[in-house]
Structure 1
Amino acid sequence: MQNDRAIALPQKADLIQLVTFRVEDSWMGINIDHIQELNRHIEPTRVPAVDSYVSGVVHLRGEVVTLIDLRILLGYPQAESTESQKAIVVDLGDERIGMLVDHVDDVCTFSCDLIEDYPSHLHQSNYDYFESIINTDNKVISVLNIANVLSVSLTH
């Protein structure tokens, strides 16, 4: 039985690159292939009648991009804006969205041997937002399922 939550990798790939970041005290990562750009926190233009996790829209390089607060989407309490807060702009097909995170760490390369299924008992309400975990010597990184984050963000 094939795991539909696994990271899509070329058949002979032994490595994966992730942009790693923190939301609250949780380490997370996004496959670098989905990253369009990283920006310092940009003050969004508020939009009426949107879900609480939608911070608003921003104008980036001639395009209007929806900015979501991952803290709120994932169920963490809202926090004041800080200097370390960044917007990660991701692409998936024709969709582009900015995600506010507390702190961007680094681009890290991991062996695919470290990739494990995301435990189904963790964060039941947010399970679909993650596709796997990477267990390193000093931290566990939850890898975001960008397709699911974008589909929830764009359909609500």
Structure 2
Amino acid sequence: MEVLTKTVIFRLNGQEYGVNINQIRSIERMEEIVPLPQTSDFIKGIINLRGSVIPIIDLRTRLGMQEMEATEQTRILVANVQEITVGLIVDDATDVIDIHDDITEDAPELVKGIDYQYLKGVAKIEDRGLILLLDLDHVLNHEEIEEVKEVAE
């Protein structure tokens, strides 16, 4: 039996990525981020989102890409990562689509400089090309999760 996964599609550096919609709580416009001293460079700070303090991670920086100024299209994906809520800055959140398991393949060890440990796989979609499927639970290692938890407290 074929499995469908609802997937949020977003862009980083011109490449489309997908993440399981079950990990995404909301998609927000970019807003003022309160910077925090003495945190890793990919932790941009915190925001107050409807009464909750959310740590913000620049996904470009985390994945080793060049940092970019926010634009009108920049979004924050509010996501559950290893049982904590974080905001992930992405260039643009474009779509929610169904991805069939028969069009996905395991990720090669290196895709455009992205370490394969962050990827669940690659989806080949006729009219879109390749979509890299991120595994949000592996985007941060144990020490980084602990640092993000401290920021959120």
With the shorter chain as reference, the TM-score category is 0.7 to 0.9
Q: Is the 8 A contact 1:114 1:134 kept in 2?
A: yes
Aligned residue in 2 for 1:49 = 38
Secondary structure of 1:131's partner? strand
In structure 2, C-alpha distance between the alignment counterparts of 1:34 and 1:13, rounded to whole Å: 21
Q: Is the 8 A contact 2:46 2:54 kept in 1?
A: yes
Q: CA deviation at 1:91?
A: 1.3
Unmatched 5+ residue regions in structure 2?
A: 148-153
1:116 aligns with 2:105: yes
Secondary structure of 2:111's partner? coil
Q: CA deviation at 1:150?
A: 4.1
In structure 2, C-alpha distance between the alignment counterparts of 1:33 and 1:64, rounded to whole Å: 21
In structure 2, C-alpha distance between the alignment counterparts of 1:142 and 1:116, rounded to whole Å: 10
Unmatched 5+ residue regions in structure 1?
A: 1-11
1:141 aligns with 2:131: yes
1:30 aligns with 2:19: yes
Aligned residue in 2 for 1:130 = 119
Aligned residue in 2 for 1:70 = 59
Deviations 1:52-104 (A, max 9, x none): 11111111122211101111111111111100000000114531110000011
Q: Which has the higher strand share?
A: 2
Q: Is the 8 A contact 2:78 2:86 kept in 1?
A: yes
In structure 1, C-alpha distance between the alignment counterparts of 2:114 and 2:121, rounded to whole Å: 16
Count of matched residue positions in the alignment of Structure 1 and Structure 2: 145
Counterpart of 2:7 (choices 18, 40, 51) is: 18
Aligned residue in 1 for 2:145 = 154
Q: Is the 8 A contact 2:82 2:137 kept in 1?
A: no
Secondary structure of 1:141's partner? strand
In structure 1, C-alpha distance between the alignment counterparts of 2:97 and 2:6, rounded to whole Å: 6
In structure 2, C-alpha distance between the alignment counterparts of 1:88 and 1:69, rounded to whole Å: 10
Root-mean-square deviation (CA), in Å?
1.8
In structure 1, C-alpha distance between the alignment counterparts of 2:10 and 2:113, rounded to whole Å: 21
In structure 2, C-alpha distance between the alignment counterparts of 1:63 and 1:150, rounded to whole Å: 21
Q: Is the 8 A contact 2:17 2:131 kept in 1?
A: yes
Q: Is the 8 A contact 1:97 1:150 kept in 2?
A: no
Aligned residue in 2 for 1:60 = 49
TM-score normalized by the length of structure 1: 0.85
Q: Runs of 4 or more off by more than 6 Å in structure 1?
A: none
In structure 1, C-alpha distance between the alignment counterparts of 2:103 and 2:7, rounded to whole Å: 13
Aligned residue in 2 for 1:104 = 93
TM-score normalized by the length of structure 2: 0.86
Q: CA deviation at 1:35?
A: 0.7
